[in-house]
């Protein structure tokens, strides 16, 4: 299993809009700096004129001239210029051209279902709480909600866009270099909203194709007796909520776990994916993420918990 602590760090942290790693995020940062600098210049000029008018009045700073210069000329010239710049820049905020890859991201309370679509727009395979994309290719994310209002945001790659119940929103983005980026639900959706995160992994196209081929396969068979016992426990207790392709587990209330062990995190981006945290999540999910919809399985003894964890570790 991977450890989130080993994720390559971003320039200014793992989730920062000030460290763009894609053209859409870079344009957003450019607009932000222009607006901040323009607004700061206007504020400084107005404050300077106000101070001069109060502390060192001059004939040229009083009366009609001051009103015309500060109250009419300045806003009429500067504010429309900033508005025009923003309107001209806005169409460039979404990646242009045909999408190379389509992914449907369905937001749930409080996790993400990720459906990779084929060239016909049909379901290819499903994963959860982690998105892989090829570097240098335009990716179209089709954002849907299964319950309430959510919002998809990967600050290093693009701006926010809402998941609205009954609506299919489209967000296009592109990563210009390999990296692992943290995303977040940016619209309050109740309960543990602040712990509804995910990771987006941008990788070289060949590496992405290798990952995609592996994700299409059903789960591998249990490797040893302990793992086989863990599989039996899973199929007895977890099939109502989870899917593991290649087994009788076809639940849709919780994340698809077919290749659970290949993911960086669990609990929707809040914990590193390793044996200790998996066991802790199974027995204490409400302590680790209060209000989430997974019950705690405290009935397992240590041997059963070890077997179940062992099997989950085999789902690569």
Structure tokens at 175: 């990563």
Domain boundaries, the chain: 24-92, 101-207, 225-313
Cα Rg of the chain (Å, integer): 25
What pLDDT, on a 0 to 100 scale, did the predictor assign at position 308?
92
User: 311 vs 231, 241, 252, 285, CA distance in Å?
Assistant: 6, 17, 20, 19
The second-level CATH assignment, the architecture, of 225-313 is Sandwich (2.60)
> Which residue, 214, 155, 197, is CA-closest to 179?
155
pLDDT in tens, 148-191: 999 999 999 998 999 999 999 999 999 999 999 999 999 999 99
> Which residue, 182, 177, 184, is CA-closest to 202?
177
Question: At CB < 8 A and 24+ separation, what contacts does 120-127 make?
Answer: 124/212, 124/216, 125/212, 125/215, 125/216, 125/245, 125/258, 126/243, 126/256, 126/258, 127/215, 127/256, 127/258, 127/259, 127/263
Residues 100, 134: Cα–Cα separation, whole Å: 9
pLDDT in tens, 104-160: 999 999 999 999 999 899 999 999 999 999 999 999 999 999 999 999 999 999 989
**Considering the entire predicted model, what is its pTM?**
0.83
Report the CATH superfamily, name and number, of domain 101-207.
Answer: Cupredoxins -  blue copper proteins (2.60.40.420)
pLDDT band at 4 (very low <50, low <70, confident <90, very high): very low
Q: Do domains 101-207 and 225-313 have the same CATH topology?
A: yes
């Amino acid at each position: 299993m991977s450890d989130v602590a080993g994720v390559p760090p971003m320039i200014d942290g793992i989730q920062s809009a000030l460290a763009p790693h894609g053209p859409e995020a870079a344009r957003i940062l450019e607009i932000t700096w222009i607006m901040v600098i323009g607004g700061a210049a206007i504020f400084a000029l107005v404050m300077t004129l106000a101070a001069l008018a109060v502390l060192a009045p001059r004939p040229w700073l009083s009366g009609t001239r001051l009103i015309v210069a500060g109250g009419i000329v300045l806003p009429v010239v500067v504010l429309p210029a900033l508005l025009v710049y923003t309107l001209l820049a806005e169409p460039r905020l979404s990646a242009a051209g045909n999408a190379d890859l389509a992914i449907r991201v369905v937001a749930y309370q409080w996790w993400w279902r990720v459906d990779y679509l084929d060239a016909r727009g049909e379901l290819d395979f499903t994963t959860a709480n982690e998105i892989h994309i090829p570097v240098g290719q335009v990716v179209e994310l089709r954002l849907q909600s299964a319950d309430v209002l959510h919002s998809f945001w990967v600050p290093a790659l693009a701006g926010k866009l809402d998941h609205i119940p009954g609506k299919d929103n489209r967000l296009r983005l592109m990563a210009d270099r390999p990296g692992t980026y943290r995303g977040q639900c940016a619209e309050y959706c109740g309960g543990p909203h602040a712990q509804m995160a995910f990771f987006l992994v941008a990788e070289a196209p060949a590496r992405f194709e290798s990952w995609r081929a592996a994700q299409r396969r059903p789960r591998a068979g249990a490797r040893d007796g302990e793992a086989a016992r863990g599989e039996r426990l899973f199929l007895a207790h977890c099939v109502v909520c989870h899917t593991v392709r290649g087994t009788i587990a076809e639940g849709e209330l919780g994340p698809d776990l077919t290749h659970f062990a290949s993911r960086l995190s669990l609990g929707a981006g809040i914990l590193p994916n390793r044996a200790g945290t998996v066991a802790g999540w199974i027995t204490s999910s409400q302590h680790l993420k209060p209000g989430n919809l997974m019950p705690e399985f405290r009935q397992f003894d240590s041997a059963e918990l070890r077997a179940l964890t062992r099997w989950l570790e085999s789902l690569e």
